[in-house]
Amino acid sequence: MALTDAQQQEIDAARSAAHQTRRPTVPALEAMLFTATPVLDHGFVRVVDYMGDDAAIVQAARVSYGRGTKAVSEDRGLIRYLMRHRHSTPFEMCEIKYHVKLPIFVARQWIRHRTANVNEYSARYSILDREFYIPAAENLAAQSSMNRQGRGAVLEGAEAARVLDLLREDATRNYDHYVEMLNEDEKGEPIDPGRQGLARELGRMNLTLNAYTQWYWKTDLHNLFNFLSLRADAHAQYEIRVYAEAMMQSAEAWVPIATGAFRDYRLGAVTFSAQMLGILRRMLAGEAVEQADSGLSKREWRELMDTIGRGL
Amino acid sequence: MALTDAQQQEIDAARSAAHQTRRPTVPALEAMLFTATPVLDHGFVRVVDYMGDDAAIVQAARVSYGRGTKAVSEDRGLIRYLMRHRHSTPFEMCEIKYHVKLPIFVARQWIRHRTANVNEYSARYSILDREFYIPAAENLAAQSSMNRQGRGAVLEGAEAARVLDLLREDATRNYDHYVEMLNEDEKGEPIDPGRQGLARELGRMNLTLNAYTQWYWKTDLHNLFNFLSLRADAHAQYEIRVYAEAMMQSAEAWVPIATGAFRDYRLGAVTFSAQMLGILRRMLAGEAVEQADSGLSKREWRELMDTIGRGL
Amino acid sequence: MALTDAQQQEIDAARSAAHQTRRPTVPALEAMLFTATPVLDHGFVRVVDYMGDDAAIVQAARVSYGRGTKAVSEDRGLIRYLMRHRHSTPFEMCEIKYHVKLPIFVARQWIRHRTANVNEYSARYSILDREFYIPAAENLAAQSSMNRQGRGAVLEGAEAARVLDLLREDATRNYDHYVEMLNEDEKGEPIDPGRQGLARELGRMNLTLNAYTQWYWKTDLHNLFNFLSLRADAHAQYEIRVYAEAMMQSAEAWVPIATGAFRDYRLGAVTFSAQMLGILRRMLAGEAVEQADSGLSKREWRELMDTIGRGL
Amino acid sequence: MALTDAQQQEIDAARSAAHQTRRPTVPALEAMLFTATPVLDHGFVRVVDYMGDDAAIVQAARVSYGRGTKAVSEDRGLIRYLMRHRHSTPFEMCEIKYHVKLPIFVARQWIRHRTANVNEYSARYSILDREFYIPAAENLAAQSSMNRQGRGAVLEGAEAARVLDLLREDATRNYDHYVEMLNEDEKGEPIDPGRQGLARELGRMNLTLNAYTQWYWKTDLHNLFNFLSLRADAHAQYEIRVYAEAMMQSAEAWVPIATGAFRDYRLGAVTFSAQMLGILRRMLAGEAVEQADSGLSKREWRELMDTIGRGL
């Protein structure tokens, strides 16, 4: 499932092609087209196609505002205004398509983003590659003791070695048994011609969740930003965050103004509840507010203090 | 809301632009880009942008089938297979964006297709143009006496003249009162500087449903085909069907193989229920089947006879 | 299109019915079932059916957290946590269905919320009622001079009277011509048996945008909150906001904890950009920040000052 | 992740509860509520909640048709008409929610149905149970030699035994190593208090794709039928088809008329292309048509002959 020679030739051919088009074209993204960005130990992200640019967002917004926008300030200001006020439909007018290779447990998180188009490699039809995600030493983290879905300190020494050994051995053994049961090797050639192989749609169940799959994934810019706001966030699991970060780079090349606005007004933004805003106003007026008289729970109070930089 | 001079210049500039791209490019559709196809008396459809081509459908399908497809026959056969067996996700990998000008009552039908991206001209912000749809004489049909949502014979003579007069007069009068209430002319200039105008978001309610609006509308090829299968169908209202037909032409230019498959396996296809199939088999075996012993209702029987060319 | 006698009898029968069910049941919402809340001059909202309650949100969240949630605090805290951190999927587990009667120009805004199920009265099939929205005197506002989509002062005296006369006369005249062209009265009875009527699908185009339509509209709680966050907001047009407010009351009765969380963390919440947060921190540290050294545009600075209560 | 005692008590309590409601209520489905139907070796499907019934479909359709439907025939005829002519929106007015326990490789197919609401057990938070799907002997099929995604003969003897051994041993070993790496037992209790455990979000990657997960899954009737038309079909993989069949039973209990129409007009229906229909007409007229002069490819010809019962 790595790129085959045939696939690689096809990609190289596409990459070297130069067509004439009247469509909006973004040179910075063209430069990245058909180039795979490596992610994790065997994965990648590559942009396959795109539609629209920053100006396409403006164009769509202007249709909505019609003549009313004669006086509206320039494009950058308009895009930032749209982002700040969550006018999301103009961002839907841009579309991007990725080819992604990723571990199955990451794919399971990713697919929860429903407003996207997907074609995934099917292990009902075809044999998966002998490739598994094994974390690098610095990512082999212990369970957080504070956060049920978080990571704590990095494991080290014998403990780390034991984990890596188990992950490697189990994935490899399961894969070996997978091809044995299928009676087909990685290339799909029969191993023992005198024997029937298990149906592929059954054999795949023996694989581990760190096996790699791949898919084409296409979405519009608004939904890409929704994806990135959850997956490029510090709370996202590291193994999906690195994909999101690679995609942020392509967004940066593609729609730099919109991506800048996304960074400022969504990724880096904070939301305060009605109660929190009341407390902020009291504080700004010079009042010393304590958790006890804040009306907030201890947990919310701590979140607020962290946000405004007064945490310990 | 017709294209302003500024808009027209912008379109002309875009049309004459020639960019280099590595993306899949379709010369036949490029030739149509930025050219408005007139529809009805004041409407139009124009393709603004697109992503993908017939080969992009194949590319996405092949990722699903992986190595398993080594032997799969050539592209045309694969696309037709996908269409025949309703494997719809590869068709979602192509995307198209239209700019459409259309009467509001048509827009109300159109918007029911939810899987699309839309930016519509807003009459909260801006003033609509003095343009209304008035049917051509040959489309001025009487209510069907058979079908509650259909059309019968064309109205003629005094009756037709009366209808056309009423439509024209009412739309025009209501528009005149609209700008009077707003105290703004079509260009947005105040009529009587000494008077306040009604809020645009209120004034618009005096317009008739044949006033024209416009929007950007973007969708993927699978959902475009869903739209066309309903709206390019003979049962669709004439006023939306003409838009669908103009869009069929752009689909034909863009993805000729997929559009051919769509014509054969969906637009021109018929579906038989389990019962109908049973009857068909009996007939093919030489049996003379009557409605009475068919198990079908009279209505279904008539539908079946019409389909197989045995209607009266 | 007002409730016919037959419809009213059906509703009365449904309302007086009492079934036994094992499903989660909310007495406060049951009390509102089948009772239309009047909105505007001829519109209404009524809850037709619902699924789930506050506990269903918790139940779904607990499946996600599995055993991990043994220690999680009680339901109210969990629901508020989910809302605060935008964990939206558990809210999708509740569903509500409304029957709404509303002016067409309001329906056009409303339908832009795509994640919902809709069945609308069809004027292709049937005749609309002689009912139009005419604003009450206190809602007859002038165009705002500051905000292109807003309202300014209320119109008064002769100006107001003129607007109301025009709205009434034009809607009525157009309706009269509509039934004349159709050659059917409001009940669908032919007016002049010797004459053909225009097809209903054409005749409807003569109606004004303040004519009333009606629909069944069904959505999940997450998407209801999305709708309410835009339409119950002070920036929403009055004519749709009153519907949203009526729906807020049903949400309050149905899922009081979730609706409370929605009020605190979304309706009444504010979002600060990364830059705004930096300024806030400087202010809280006692620094006197001015627009000029804030890095914000004048517009953003004004928005920030308004939010923290330092506007003029 | 099997039902814990606490969960079971909660379900029993819900099951024995009896509330009064004015909502449409379906006794046959009420009888199934909170009762898990076993599927595969450790899985189940149970209906958790529902909204609407056959009459709710009619009610929604009648709003669309308005007065126009005075004369429309009775409910059964209307529902069958809607299904036959693919008027899908009235079916969206019914909603159902399931709790499902299923192997991960089945969940991966299932989740591709995007128009649904899902809350899945999260292995980032919690520990999965020691339960894996092991096919029953009669389902242990060889790869089909004709169909790349199909099954051939059942494996037997030593071959079958070897496959079952491998599946069992690998799943069990990997699970044992999973809890060892996490340093937590199945109940979440630490195994070796002196040692840190690997983060759960990492440890889960060692599990096999036949491990069981569970989720709440909620959808509307139209999308349930879409799911069933693909997954209750003979071409669906056995392991998901058994879930679809269990859900067909609940649909049968819930909306018997709509489900009957679905069986006749969709599950058991066939679609003929424009070309196929032409051939059928020729055959019905007594002509002997051969593949060579049919205009169909060999593959399509074979499909047609199979459908009309003339296959070998």
Q: For the segment C190-247, what is each residue's pLDDT rounded down to a tens digit?
A: 899 888 899 999 999 999 999 999 999 999 999 999 999 999 998 899 999 999 999 9
More confident residue, D303 or A64: D303
Confidence of residue B15 (pLDDT cuts 50, 70, 90): confident
How many Å apart are CA D203 and CA A276, to the nearest integer?
A: 38
What is the reported pLDDT for B69? 47
Is residue B49 pLDDT above 70, yes or no? yes
B281 Cβ under 8 Å from any chain D Cβ = yes
CB contact under 8 A, B135 and C202: yes
- Provide the β-strand partners of residue D149: none
| pLDDT mean over D172-197 | 91
Gap from B280 CA to chain C (nearest CA, Å)? 33
From A18, A21, A50, residue closest to B30, measured CB to CB: A21
Asked if pLDDT for residue D312 goes beyond 70, the answer is: no
> What value does the mean pLDDT take over residues B151-176?
95
C145 touches chain B (CB under 8 A): no
Q: Is D174 on the interface with C (CB under 8 A)?
A: no
D220 is in an annotated binding site: yes
Of A108, A122, A174, the CB nearest to D208: A174
Which one from A46, A80, A200, A231 is the annotated catalytic residue? A231
Q: CB-based contacts of D26: which residues, under 8 Å, 6+ apart?
A: D50, D53, D253, D254, D255
Least confident of A306-310, B72-76, C303-307, D226-230: B72-76
What is residue B187's predicted lDDT score, i.e. its pLDDT? 78
Give B216 to chain A, closest Cα distance, Å.
7
Which residues does C5 contact at the CB level (< 8 Å), separation at least 6? Answer: none
User: Which residue is listed with tokens 């609407």?
Assistant: D52
Q: What is the pLDDT of residue A73?
A: 55
Number of alpha carbons in the 13 Å side-chain half-sphere of residue B280: 28
Query: Do the beta carbons of residue B15 and residue B34 sit within 8 Å?
Result: yes
User: C19 - beta bridge partners?
Assistant: D21
Taking CB atoms and an 8 Å cut-off, how many pairs form between chains A and B? 174
Q: Which CATH architecture has domain A1-127+217-269?
A: 2-Layer Sandwich (3.30)
In the structure, what pLDDT confidence band is assigned to residue A149 with cuts at 50, 70 and 90?
Answer: confident
The helix (run of H) or strand (run of E) holding residue A46 is strand A43-51
Residue B67 has pLDDT above 60, yes or no: no
Average pLDDT over residues B196-210: 96
Which of B68-77, B231-240, C223-232 is the least confident region?
B68-77
- AA identity, residue D211: A
Most confident range (mean pLDDT) of B73-82, C92-101, D277-286 is C92-101
B168 catalytically annotated: no
One-character DSSP codes across D171-235:
HHHHHHHHHHHHTB-TTS-BS-TTSPPBPHHHHGGGSBTTBEEEEEEEEEHHHHHHHHHHHSSTT
**Partner-chain contact B205 C103, CB within 8 Å:** yes
- Comparing alpha-carbon positions, the chain A residue that sits nearest to B1 is A66
C187 interfacial to chain A (CB closer than 8 Å): no
B-interface mutation test, from D88, D272, D287, most B Cβ less than 10 A away = D272
Task: Identify the top-confidence range among A192-201, B205-214, C146-155.
Answer: B205-214
SS3 assignment, position A51: strand
- D15 in contact with A, Cβ within 8 Å: no
Q: Tell me the pLDDT band of B2, cut-offs 50, 70 and 90.
A: low
Nearest to C19 among D1, D21, D67 (CB): D21
- Best mutation site among A16, A44, A51 for testing chain B: the one with the most B CBs within 10 Å? A51
Q: List residues bridging with D96 in a β-sheet.
A: D50, D219
Q: Which chain D residue shows the shortest CA-CA distance from A200?
A: D143
Q: Which of B208, B176, B111 has its CA nearest to residue C181?
A: B208
Residue of higher predicted confidence among A224 and B149 = A224
Q: What is the ipTM of this complex?
A: 0.93
Q: Could you tell me the pLDDT band of residue A4, with boundaries at 50, 70 and 90? A: low
- Specify the DSSP element, H or E, that contains D56: helix D54-65
Q: Which amino acid is at A73?
A: S
Contacts of residue A218, defined as CB under 8 A and 6 or more positions apart, other chains included, come to A49, A95, A96, A97, A98, A116, A117, A118, B92, B93, B95, B220
Question: What is the CA B263 to chain-centroid distance, rounded?
Answer: 15
Among A218-232, D90-104, D137-151, which is the least confidently predicted range?
D137-151
- Is B109 annotated to bind a ligand? Reply is yes
* Active-site residue, from C80, C200, C231, C241: C231
Q: What percent of chain C has pLDDT over 70?
A: 95
Q: In a 10 Å sphere around its CB, with 0-12 CB exposed, 13-18 middle and 19+ buried, how is residue A146 labelled?
A: exposed
Say if A75 is an interface residue toward chain B (CB within 8 Å): no
D142 interfaces chain A, CB cutoff of 8 Å: yes
Average pLDDT over residues A205-219: 98
Structure tokens given for D176: 């044992």
| Radius of gyration, alpha carbons of chain A | 24
Best of A108, A149, A271, A287 to disrupt the C interface (most C CBs within 10 Å) is A271
Residue A185 pLDDT: 85
Taking contacts as CB-CB distances below 8 angstroms, the residues of chain D near C66 are 1, 121-122, 125-127
How many CA atoms, within 13 angstroms, populate the side-chain half-sphere of residue D94?
Answer: 27
Name residue D186's amino acid: E
CATH code that applies to domain D1-123+218-269: 3.30.1360.170
Averaged confidence pLDDT in chain A: 91
Say how far apart CA C48 and CA B147 lie, in whole Å: 30
> C1-123+215-269: which CATH number, 3.40.630.40, 3.30.1360.170, 3.40.50.1400, 1.10.540.10?
3.30.1360.170
Model confidence at D79: pLDDT above 60: yes
- Whether the predicted pLDDT of A67 surpasses 60: no
CATH of B1-124+214-269, one of 3.40.50.720, 3.30.300.30, 3.30.1360.170, 3.90.1580.10: 3.30.1360.170
C137 and B CB contact within 8 Å? no
Q: Does D160 touch chain B (CB under 8 A)?
A: no
Q: Is C300 on the interface with A (CB under 8 A)?
A: yes
What pLDDT is attached to residue A312? 52
Helix (H, G, I), strand (E, B) or coil at B191: coil
pLDDT of amino acid C70: 45
Which of B84, B265, B59 minimizes the C-alpha distance to D299? B84
Q: What average pLDDT does this structure show over D117-129? A: 93
Q: Would the CA dihedral through A107, A108, A110, A115 be positive or negative?
A: positive
**What are the φ/ψ torsions at residue B249 (nearest 5 degrees)?**
-65, -40
A124 is in an annotated binding site: yes
Could you tell me if C110 and C102 are in contact, meaning their C-beta atoms sit under 8 angstroms apart? Answer: yes
pLDDT confidence of residue A65: 67
Q: What are C128-142's pLDDT values in tens digits?
A: 999 999 999 999 999
* Secondary structure (H, E, C), chain C: CCCCHHHHHHHHHHHHCCEEECCCCCHHHHCCCCCCEEECCCEEEEEEEEECCHHHHHHHHHHHHHHHHCCCCCHHHHHHHHHHCCCCHHHHHCEEEEEEEEEHHHHHHHCCCCCCEEEECCCCCCCCCCCECCCCHHHCEEECCCCCCCEEEECCHHHHHHHHHHHHHHHHHHHHHHHHHHCECCCCCECCCCCCCECHHHHHHHCECCEEEEEEEEEEHHHHHHHHHHHCCCCCCHHHHHHHHHHHHHHHHHCHHHHHHHHHHHHCCEEECHHHHHHHHHHHCCCCCCHHHCCCCHHHHHHHHHHCCCCC
Quote the CA–CA distance of D198 and C216 in Å, as a whole number: 51
- How close does chain A come to D75, measured CA to CA in Å? 35
| Residue of chain A whose Cα is closest to the Cα of B12 | A22
C7 to chain A, minimum CA–CA distance in Å? 38
Which chains touch D (3+ CB pairs under 8 A)? A, B, C
Mean pLDDT confidence for A270-299: 92
Query: How many residues are there in chain B?
Result: 312
Q: Which chains touch C (3 or more CB pairs under 8 A)?
A: A, B, D
Any C CB within 8 A of A307 CB: yes
Mean pLDDT of A50-64: 93
Q: Which residue has the tokens 């092949």?
A: B62
The answer to whether A177 contacts D197, with C-beta atoms less than 8 Å apart, is no
* Predicted pLDDT of residue D70: 45
Q: Is the distance from CB of C65 to CB of A148 less than 8 angstroms?
A: yes
Measure the N-to-C terminal CA separation of chain C; round to a whole number of Å. 49
Q: Between residues 224 and 253 of chain B, which touch chain C (CB distance below 8 Å)? A: 237
Residue D72 has pLDDT above 50, yes or no: no
Q: For C12-63, how does the pLDDT look when each residue is reduced to its tens digit (9 = 90+)?
A: 777 788 899 999 999 999 999 989 999 999 999 999 999 999 999 999 998 8
In the predicted structure, residue C4 carries a pLDDT above the cut 70: no
pLDDT of residue B66: 62
Helix A54-65 to helix A75-84 angle (10° resolution) is: 80
Query: What is the 3 state secondary structure string of D240-267?
Result: HHHHHHHHHHHHHHHCHHHHHHHHHHHH
d(CA D262, CA D258): 6
Residues A43, A247: contact at Cβ < 8 Å? no
Q: With an 8 Å Cβ cutoff, is B62 touching chain D?
A: no
Q: Look at residues A225, A222, A215 and name the one whose alpha carbon lies nearest to residue A247.
A: A225
The mean pLDDT value for B183-200 works out to 88
Q: What is the spatial distance between Cα D83 and Cα C128, in angstroms, rounded to a whole number?
A: 26
- Cα–Cα distance for residue pair C88/D4, rounded to 1 Å: 26
Tell whether B70 lies on the interface with D, counting CB pairs under 8 A: no
Cβ contact D167:A206 at 8 Å: yes
Write the pLDDT tens digit of every residue in C105-130: 999 999 999 999 999 999 988 899 99
CA geometry: angle D57, D63, D67, nearest 5 deg: 125
Q: Rounded to a whole number, what is the distance in Å from the CA of C103 to chain B's nearest CA?
A: 9
Distance in Å, alpha carbon of C248 to nearest chain D alpha carbon = 20
Give the whole-angstrom CA distance, residue D224 versus residue D228. 6
For chain B, which chains pass the contact test of at least 3 CB pairs under 8 Å? A, C, D
Tally of CB atoms within 10 A around A10 = 15
- pLDDT, residue C182, reads 95
- D210 contacts A209? CB cut-off 8 A: no
Q: Which residues contact A287 (CB under 8 A, 6 or more apart)?
A: none
Whether pLDDT at A53 is above 70: yes
**D63 compared with C8, residue with greater pLDDT:** D63
User: Which residues of D are catalytic, by number?
Assistant: 231
Stretch D224-248: mean pLDDT: 96
Backbone angles phi, psi at D152, to 5 degrees: -110, -140
Give the integer Cα–Cα distance in Å for B228 and B247. Answer: 8
Contacts of C69 (CB under 8 A, 6+ apart): C61, C62, C78, D125, D126
Interface mutation target, options C266, C273, C306, chain A, most CBs of A under 10 Å: C273
Contact assignment for B163 to C181 by CB distance below 8 Å: yes
Average pLDDT estimate for D24-49: 96
Least CB-CB distance to B272: which of D148, D272, D273? Answer: D272
Q: Does D146 touch chain B (CB under 8 A)?
A: no
Quote the pLDDT of residue B70.
44
Mutate to test the interface with A, among D104, D151, D206 (most CBs of A within 10 A): D206
Of the candidates C178, C191, C127, C200, the one whose C-alpha atom is nearest the C-alpha of residue B141 is C200
Q: CB–CB of C211/C194 below 8 Å? A: no
Binding residue per annotation — A114? yes
What is the rounded average pLDDT of the residues A87-101? 97
Average pLDDT in chain D: 91
pLDDT digits (tens, 9 = 90+) for B96-115: 999 999 999 999 999 999 99
**Which residues on neighbouring strands pair with residue A50, listed in sequence order?**
A96
Residue pairs between chains A and D whose CB atoms are closer than 8 Å: 159
pLDDT confidence of residue B71: 44
Domain spans of chain A, in order of start: 1-127+217-269, 134-209, 274-307
